[in-house]
């Protein structure tokens, strides 16, 4: 009877070790610097930054889609990009980390969040139209067109901010 318990315990332990030893997922392509995503039925280009990988992944597609949907619904986005066709826009999405914080002036620093640069395609050097920051610690979105004065996007609903937190941060590290 004792041998049976030992063998059963060893089998359970072996199964547990095997279950936790999965290989990390590999990127689908070696070219992960540019991704095409569909937002509201329209295709947009997104540049990911592979040097800021979380494991072997860059910013996930559900996170990018959610961020772009929320940002594109803001009044400031429509003002800045009103004359630019959707296929003329290029988005650069990166993580904000404590090793490279964003200084917000009087509002402190963002050390946990996302930065989204909205650029207009213009030959080799895209023209930066606006930058959006998502502060995960406060659950807020900020925007700027001059890279200096950030304003809180008050028009973004709490529901949208929760969707961003859930799709990009899985609901962790949140203050709200």
**pLDDT one-digit tens code per residue, 31-40:** 445 556 665 5
Q: What phi-psi label fits residue 146: left (phi over 0), alpha (psi between -120 and 50 degrees) or beta? A: alpha
Q: Enter the pTM of the model.
A: 0.65
Tally of domains in the chain: 1
Domain that holds residue 130: 26-168
Pair 141, 153: CB distance under 8 Å: yes
User: Which is higher by pLDDT, 29 or 47?
Assistant: 47
More confident residue, 174 or 144: 144
Q: Indicate whether 100 belongs to any domain.
A: yes
Q: Please give the average per-residue pLDDT across 34-55, as a whole number.
A: 55
Residue found under tokens 């070696």:
30
Higher pLDDT, 55 or 147: 147
Element (H, E) at 37: strand 34-39
pLDDT tens digits, 141-155: 888 888 778 888 878
Lowest mean pLDDT among 76-85, 94-103, 167-176: 167-176
Do the domain assignments include residue 91?
yes
Looking only at the bridges linking them, the beta strands covering 102-103 and 109-110 are antiparallel
Does residue 16 lie within any of the structural domains?
no
User: How many angstroms separate the CA atoms of 83 and 14, rounded?
Assistant: 61
Q: Between 165 and 14, whose confidence is greater?
A: 165
Tokens 């318990």 identify what position?
Answer: 5
Pick from 148, 66, 81, 70: nearest CA to 119: 81
Q: Does 130 fall in a domain? A: yes
Classify residue 173: in a domain, yes or no: no
**50: Cα separation from own chain's centroid:** 13
């Amino acid at each position: 009877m004792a041998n049976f318990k030992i063998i059963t315990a060893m089998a359970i332990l072996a199964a547990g070790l095997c279950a936790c030893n999965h290989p990390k997922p590999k990127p689908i392509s070696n070219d992960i610097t540019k991704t095409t995503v569909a937002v509201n039925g329209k295709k947009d280009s997104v540049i990911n930054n592979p040097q800021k990988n979380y494991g072997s992944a860059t910013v996930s597609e559900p996170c990018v889609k959610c961020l772009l949907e929320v940002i594109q619904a803001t009044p400031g986005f429509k003002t800045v990009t009103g004359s630019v066709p959707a296929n003329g826009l290029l988005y650069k999405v990166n993580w904000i980390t404590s090793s490279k914080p964003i200084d917000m002036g009087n509002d402190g620093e963002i050390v946990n969040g996302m930065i989204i640069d909205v650029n207009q395609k213009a030959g080799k050097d895209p023209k930066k139209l606006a930058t959006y920051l998502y502060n995960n610690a406060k659950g807020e979105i900020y925007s700027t067109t001059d890279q200096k004065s950030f304003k809180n996007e008050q028009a973004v609903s709490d529901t949208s901010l929760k969707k961003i937190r859930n799709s990009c941060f899985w609901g962790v590290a949140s203050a709200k």
